Amino acid sequence: MMREVLDAIDRLVLEPSGRSPEAALELYGFLRDEYLAHHLDEDEALFPLLRKRAEPEDRIDEILDRLEADHETGNGLIDKILGILKAFIKNEASLRDEDFETLRFFAASERRHLIVENAIILPIARARLTKADLDGIYNRMLARRGLDRVTSGKAT
């Protein structure tokens, strides 16, 4: 999903023809609903388990420290990104040069982050986490989004 979002930001920045408020709306909705939640999934559930389960040769602490720092940077930037998209969607403002620059910076740093997670973190997670770990992470993801009651059949 995040890769699609980053591609959509690139299109918004690079292709004037794709620069419609409708194109920005989906992007806005995903980032608003998922960006911070995704960071919490990783910071509170996935990364602590990885630190616990990884072997010294995985050298994971240093990498996770860096990824957590990226999350903080992104958390500090996301309101600005949402503000740019929202103003554009509501037709209050066309995108200024500095907005393009902010969007481009965001997409580039998120893409670097994603590459490290996919290339380094996911293989270690596959090798080290247990089935119970994965179930626990999944359940916390559902609970964070208020979906746990739905799947356990307790929703009214």
Contact 25, 87 (CB under 8 A): no
CA distance 83 to 24: 12
Shortest distance (Å) from residue 41 CB to Fe ion: 8
CA distance 45 to 43: 6
Shortest distance (Å) from residue 19 CB to Fe ion: 27
CB closer to Fe ion, 38 vs 88: 38
Shortest distance (Å) from residue 55 CB to Fe ion: 22
Instruction: Identify residues 109-138 at the interface with Fe ion (CB under 5 A).
Output: 117
CB closer to Fe ion, 88 vs 106: 106
Shortest distance (Å) from residue 25 CB to Fe ion: 23
* Binding flags for Fe ion, 72-111, as an x/- string (CB under 5 A): ----------------------------------------
CB closer to Fe ion, 58 vs 117: 117
CB closer to Fe ion, 1 vs 132: 1
Contacts of 92 (CB under 8 A, 6+ apart): none
CA distance 108 to 102: 10
CA distance 101 to 77: 13
CA 102 to chain centre: 17
Instruction: Identify residues 7-66 at the interface with Fe ion (CB under 5 A).
Output: 42
How buried is 70 (Cβ within 10 angstroms: 0-12 exposed, 13-18 middle, 19+ buried)?
A: middle
Residues in the site for Fe ion, rule: CB under 5 A?
A: 42, 117
